[in-house]
Amino acid sequence: MAITAKDLKEVASSLNILYAEDEEILREGMQSSLSKLFANVYTARNGQEAFEYFKKEDIDIVMTDINMPIMSGVELIESINRYTDKEPKIIVLSAHNESKLLQNIINMGVNNYLNKPVDKQVMVSLLYKAAQAITDGKLLIEYRSRLEKELEFSDRKNKILEEKLKQLAVHVNKAEAVENKESVVEVKKVDDNYFDTLLQDDKDELRDLSHELESFIAMLFTDDGLNEDYIDILSVTYKNYASVLNAYVEFFDVAVSLTEFSNTILSLRNKFMENLQQTGIYFESLQLTLESFRHNVWEKEAQNPRFYNASLKMDIQLIIDFLEEKEIVENEIEFF
């Protein structure tokens, strides 16, 4: 079945094409046709002008005439090959059938040709093939990038688990862990209707704050030029989270810990910025526990709403110890 312009548009509508042609009538006619199929069409009167466009814009496909003033199509292809490793799809238009010329072009890695005058069906088929290859390539790159991010996140979760297991081992090996029962989560009787006391506005605010914290913490792994303003905003967000919890007696102790934590972040900002990847691992650990607390206690009717309090406070203390550069043996954490 012949490829149609509609088929081409489906795969080319997000791509950019550069067309170099010194004859104005041909250039304007081709621009009119291509603009209906591609996201952006850039036209040039010669190879030099086309090369300048190529350096400035994100070009996916290059269509070029061979014989042009100032810089020929062959010279344009040579310039592109020297400039980038991107290897855009290049289509050569020529009224010549000289074997020597074609051999030179083949040696440069170009194997797409259109004879003048251009057969529109052949052009559509050739452009479709090029656009499909580019689109498939971009999808593959996107898939690999997403997979790498998922693997990176999985690796960070494993590191978080390792940190907590180390803390658990320290806790279990200490003799006072058996005697000092208050370090373990204490489940106190709570009124059966505690869930009814949670205001919807507070639920919504905690959800919004949680989304903000997730975004802020994700930035720690992007190495995107974070500055001290970032720490100020992060500290305020934790303080706002604490202010919501402060209104509920069940979570007053967590609110106090989060408030103190937000102040500690500010006072230890130099250590915070010293190793953002490692800092991010600790903060992501806290966020996982905090989000589990929000989901189970505020979205579901948890039987024991205080269950997560001790774990949250221990995660907070773990980060403080890290920022204060204390040894791991000084830390104790409950693992859930």
Specify whether 57 is located in the same domain as 10.
yes
271 and 319 Cβ atoms separated by less than 8 Å: no
Specify whether 180 is located in the same domain as 303.
yes
DSSP state of 109: T
| Structural domain count of the chain | 2
Look up residue 147 and give its two tokens.
């997979």
First to last CA, the chain: 60
| pLDDT tens per residue across span 134-148 | 988 888 888 777 777
User: In the listed set 142, 162, 184, which residue is the last one of a domain according to the structure?
Assistant: 142
Q: CA 264, CA 276: separation in Å to the nearest integer?
A: 16
Compute how many other C-beta atoms are within 10 angstroms of the C-beta atom of residue 132.
16
Q: Does the residue 225 lie in any domain? A: yes
| pLDDT tens per residue across span 265-297 | 999 888 888 888 888 888 988 898 899 889 888
For residue 109, CA distances in Å to 67, 112, 143 come to 19, 9, 27
**CATH code for the domain of 124:** 3.40.50.2300
Q: Does the residue 157 lie in any domain? A: no
Specify whether 188 is located in the same domain as 278.
yes
Question: Is residue 4 helix, strand or coil?
Answer: coil
Q: Does the residue 185 lie in any domain? A: yes
Please tell me the predicted confidence (pLDDT) of residue 177: 43
Specify whether 312 is located in the same domain as 200.
yes
* Res. 117 pLDDT band, cuts 50 70 90: confident
Specify whether 244 is located in the same domain as 304.
yes
Query: What global pTM score does this model have?
Result: 0.49
DSSP state of 96: -
Q: Does the residue 222 lie in any domain? A: yes
Q: Does the residue 336 lie in any domain? A: no
Specify whether 188 is located in the same domain as 231.
yes
Q: Does the residue 168 lie in any domain? A: no
Rg (CA), the chain: 31
User: In DSSP terms, which residues pair with 42 in a beta bridge?
Assistant: 18
Specify whether 13 is located in the same domain as 122.
yes
Please tell me the predicted confidence (pLDDT) of residue 190: 47
* Res. 95 pLDDT band, cuts 50 70 90: confident
Q: Between 223 and 279, name the one with better pLDDT.
A: 279
Please tell me the predicted confidence (pLDDT) of residue 198: 85
User: In the listed set 119, 142, 165, which residue is the last one of a domain according to the structure?
Assistant: 142
Strand duo 89-94 + 113-115: pairing: parallel
30 and 61 Cβ atoms separated by less than 8 Å: no
- As a whole number, mean pLDDT of residues 209-218 equals 91
Look up residue 201 and give its two tokens.
């506005």
Specify whether 9 is located in the same domain as 57.
yes
- As a whole number, mean pLDDT of residues 228-234 equals 87
Specify whether 179 is located in the same domain as 324.
yes
Q: Does the residue 90 lie in any domain? A: yes
Please tell me the predicted confidence (pLDDT) of residue 250: 87
Closest by CA position to 39, among listed 10, 64, 4: 10
Look up residue 223 and give its two tokens.
């190495």
Please tell me the predicted confidence (pLDDT) of residue 165: 54
| pLDDT tens per residue across span 168-208 | 555 444 444 444 444 444 444 445 567 778 889 999 999 99
Please tell me the predicted confidence (pLDDT) of residue 225: 66
Percent of the chain exceeding pLDDT 70 equals 79
Please tell me the predicted confidence (pLDDT) of residue 249: 87
> What residues make up the domain containing 38?
5-142
Compute how many other C-beta atoms are within 10 angstroms of the C-beta atom of residue 157.
14
